[in-house]
Structure 1
Amino acid sequence: MIKLEGPSHGPAAGGAPRHLVVLLHGYGADGNDLIGLAPVLAPLMPDTVFHAPNAPYACEGAPMGYQWFGISRLDPHTVAAGVRAAAPFVDAFLDETMAQYGLDETRTVLVGFSQGTMMALHCGLRRDIPLAGIIGFSGMLAAPEALDTELRSRPPVLLIHGDSDPMLPSQLSETAAETLRRNGVPVGLHIAPGVGHGIDQTGLSQAARFLLDAFELPLPNQGN
């Protein structure tokens, strides 16, 4: 199996990390696309290391980028088959990276954007031990009809989506949130007004607050 590689950042404080954030990029991008979030978040959680692996396959629609699976349209069967085929890559990366730092799921958050959100939700909800959390930007829940029989853990989830997204409508995150709640998964939903297929400052602030809570770290200016 292909071993995923990509950029990393931190910990800002130096030394051994106590928390891990794994960032899964979208279709046609690479790890550099999301690792740019790390310098913004790292000062708030200086003992956290960030990793952003490149997806395993060269992208059909963007020769310089990568894809978790090939997709030409949002056909539910194609998406479901794609996330299932790529899931072992993400799970192996999580296992290896946690082992590298001597961390476990309770100190690990999985973050995805677009196609990376599809991967984060699929993998994170099917691990035997709950992650500290899952954040999904501008994505969707693949194979929702299978979740009730395949769900193995219920980590807290935050879904963030722009209401002006021309690629993946924000209704996909709304539907995902409903499905997760119906299956007993604690989920927060933030629909960003006027935002397209991207991450704005408000969405990033929501994600930062979620990470601090997941890692039981203090909010800025509120002491230890």
Structure 2
Amino acid sequence: MEHVWGKVDEYITDKLIPKDDVLEQTLTHNKQAGLPEIDVSPAQGKMLYLLAKTKNAKRILEIGTLGGYSTIWLARALEEDGELITLEAVSHHVQIAQQNISRAGLSERVSILEGKALDTLSQLKEKAALPFDFIFIDADKPNNPKYLKWALDFSKKGTVIIADNVVRNGAVLHDSDEDERVQGTREFFDLLKQEPRIEATAIQTVGEKGYDGFVYGIVK
């Protein structure tokens, strides 16, 4: 079935996502630089773009930059005077992302904060950063529960919070799975269930990235 999923993604991309040299060069640059090929797919990137655009987002927070592929999609959805802050722990990834974002002509809208996300989130809090309209969580999965708590701290009524990789090929079902990424995802779901400040659902996804899913939430 995964072969079919990939072919359907190619079909969707061909029909609905116009050829984009900047985005294609970003993926090529990431691969040449040795970054892991764990970016969202083009169809998923377009979905993030449309969700942020629907929200008329002026301030976006992204937790987990990698090479900036999803960053570019999201930054393109910003209002004209908008701002995106993205957090990345790995220096090499930051360097590649900066090059990609510059090539996309988005350097004035995007700020990359280098360091462990839990540290940079704390620094943002100390600076009394304004709330965000849209938050995308796509970093190290064991810390997802902590990222959700921070995301809620940086939210206001109506803020959209999206998290990637929440199904993990179905492994999220198994409480005995020793993979810390699975355990972090399960704790993330438990927190969502208990947290009165957000209402959320999850969508399972299949495609060129395999079998996974997104959480979609709106802050009350």
TM-score (normalizing by structure 1): 0.41
Higher RCO (CA 8 Å, separation ≥ 6 residues): 2
TM-score (normalizing by structure 2): 0.41
